Amino acid sequence: MVFDGLADWECGLALAEINRCDRYRVVTVGMSTATVVTMAGVRITPQVALADLNSDEAAIFILPGGDRWESITEPALLSLLEQLDTLRVPIAGICSATVALARAGLLDERRHTSNRAGYLEQHVPAYAGQERYRDSPAVADSGVITASGVAAVEFAHELLGQLCVYEESDLASWFDLFKHYRLP
């Protein structure tokens, strides 16, 4: 998903690797097809408006962070997240996008993480997943991937694993390269 003020670096590594894979095509989705401007000033024109997204064709739905999630609730997005979850389409959120996942109730029964303990409660009074919060860079559980805003490599690692972009041993080598600069 793309929107004004999205934290473009948080998903960049994952998207580049997914886009290189012949099995998937990255499609940008916006609330409309109007051009958006990222935090870094990059202009992106969404290919599809949220209302026109065919959820049956989605392999995963990725929400990057951005300040908007702390103050804006999009009923159409929450409805889509619930629909995708029902269809068992994986959903991934990093940084403040975990707020949208909490608002949709997707974190109440799954292990997850976010920017820090207490962050989700601060922005989502109805959040009921405190018992399942993990102080970890990234967490995947039952089709939902969450990550802290400082864990873009770990987030990418979980996304690539979910989509089986690489064989398990290659994925481990990929992570060692991008996280620790350990050449294979």
Question: Within 13 Å of residue 85, how many CA atoms lie on the same side as its CB?
Answer: 19
H or E segment at 30? strand 29-30
Task: Count the Cβ atoms, other than its own, within 10 Å of residue 86.
Answer: 9
Distance of CA 27 to the CA centre of its chain: 14
Q: Which of 11, 21, 95, 164 is an active site residue?
A: 95
d(CA 146, CA 129): 13
Q: How many residues does the chain have?
A: 184
Distance CA 22, CA 18 (A): 8
Q: Which two tokens stand for residue 124?
A: 């989502």
Which tokens is 46 given?
A: 């969404």
Task: For residue 95, indicate whether it is catalytic.
Answer: yes
Q: How far apart, in whole angstroms, are the C-alpha atoms of residue 175 and residue 157?
A: 6
Active site residues: 95
